[in-house]
Chain A
Amino acid sequence: MMDETGKRKQRTLQLVVALMLFVAAIYAVTFIKLPVWLPALQ
Chain B
Amino acid sequence: MTEAIAAIAHDQHEHPPAGIMRWLTTTNHKDLGILYMSFGGIMFFIGGAFIMAVRAELLLPGLQWLSPGMYNQLFTLHALIMVFGAIMPFATGLNNYLIPLMIGAPDMALPRVNNWGFWILPFAAVLLLTPFFLQFFGTGSGASGLGWVMHNTSLDLQSGIGIDFAIFTIHLLGISSLTGAINVVVTVLNMRAPGMALMKMPLFVWAWLITAFMLILVIPVFSAAATMLLTDRHFGTHFFDAANGGDPILLQHLIWFFGHPEVYIVLLPAWGLIPHILATFSRKPVFGYRAQVYALWAICFLSFIVWSHHMLTSGLPLAAEVYFMYSTMAISVPTSVLVFCWLGAIWRGAMTFETPMLFALGFVAHFGMGALTGMILPDVAVNAQYHNSYVIVSHFHYTFFGGGIFGMMAAVYYWLPKFTGHMFDEKLGRLHFWLTVIFFNMTFIPQWFAGLDGMPRHIADFALRFSAMNLISSVGAFLLGLSQLLLVYIVVRCVRGGPQATGQVWEGAQGLEFTLPSPPPYHTFETPPAVK
A19 contacts B220, CB within 8 Å?
no
Interface residues on A, range: 20 to 34
Complex Cα distance, B182 from A12, in Å, reads 10
Task: Tell me if B228 and A31 are in contact (CB < 8 A).
Answer: yes
Using a CB–CB cutoff of 8 Å, the interface residues on chain B facing chain A are 109-110, 178, 182, 185-186, 189-191, 216-217, 219-221, 223-225, 227-228, 239, 247, 249-250, 253-254, 257, 308, 315-317, 320
Look across to chain B and name the residue whose beta carbon is closest to the beta carbon of A41.
Answer: B320
Q: Which 3 A-B pairs have the closest CB atoms?
A: A30-B224, A26-B220, A27-B220
CA distance in complex: A30, B217 (Å): 11
A11 & B182 in contact (Cβ 8 Å cutoff): no
Question: Quick one: which of A15, A35, A42 contacts B316, CB cutoff 8 A?
Answer: A42
Q: State A34–B186 Cα separation when bound (angstroms).
A: 29
* A15 engages B250 (CB within 8 Å): no
A42 touches B190 (CB 8 A): no
- B189 contact set on A, CB distance < 8 A: 15
In the complex, whether A1 has a CB less than 8 A from a CB of chain B is no
**Cβ of A6 < 8 Å from any Cβ of B?**
no
- Write the nearest CB–CB distance from A23 to chain B, whole angstroms: 5
Q: How far apart sit A18 and B191, CA to CA, in the bound complex (Å)? A: 17
**B317 in contact with A42 (CB, 8 Å):** yes
Q: Is A38 part of the contact surface with B, judged by Cβ < 8 Å?
A: yes
A35 touching B216, Cβ below 8 Å: no
Q: List B contacts of A42 (CB < 8 A).
A: 249, 315-317, 320
A2 on the B face (CB < 8 A): no
Residues in B neighbouring A15, C-beta threshold 8 A: 185-186, 189-190
- Whether A39 contacts B247 by the Cβ 8 Å rule is yes
Chain B binding surface SS class: helix
17 extra A-B contacts, CB within 8 A, seeds A30-B254, A34-B257: A12-B110, A15-B186, A15-B190, A19-B182, A22-B216, A23-B219, A27-B220, A30-B220, A30-B225, A31-B228, A34-B253, A35-B250, A38-B253, A39-B247, A41-B317, A42-B316, A42-B317
Q: What are 7 A-B contacts defined by CB distance under 8 Å? A: A8-B190, A12-B110, A15-B185, A23-B220, A26-B221, A31-B228, A42-B249
Q: Which residue of B lies closest to A22 (CB)?
A: B216
Q: Is the CB of A23 within 8 A of B316?
A: no
Chain A positions within 8 Å of B317 at CB level: 41-42
Contacts of B185 in A (CB 8 A): 15, 19
B314 to nearest A CB, angstroms? Answer: 8
Contacts of B320 on A, CB cut-off 8 Å? 41-42
- Asked if A19 contacts B316 (CB within 8 A), the reply is no
Q: Which of A16, A24, A31, A39 makes the CB contact (< 8 A) with B249?
A: A39
Contact present for A27 and B224 (CB under 8 Å): yes
* B249 (CB) vs chain A CBs: closest residue: A42
Q: In the complex, which residues of chain A have a beta carbon less than 8 angstroms from the beta carbon of B109?
A: 12
Residues of A close to B190: CB separation below 8 A: 8, 11-12, 15
Whether B239 pairs with A35 at a CB distance below 8 angstroms is yes
The reply to whether A23 and B186 contact each other, CB–CB distance below 8 Å, is: no
Cα–Cα, bound, A27→B257 (Å)? 13
Report chain B residues within 8 Å CB of A27: 220-221, 223-224
- For residue A1, give the distance in angstroms from its CB to the closest CB of chain B: 19
In angstroms, Cα B392 to Cα A40, docked, is 28
Q: B179 to chain A: closest CB distance in Å?
A: 10
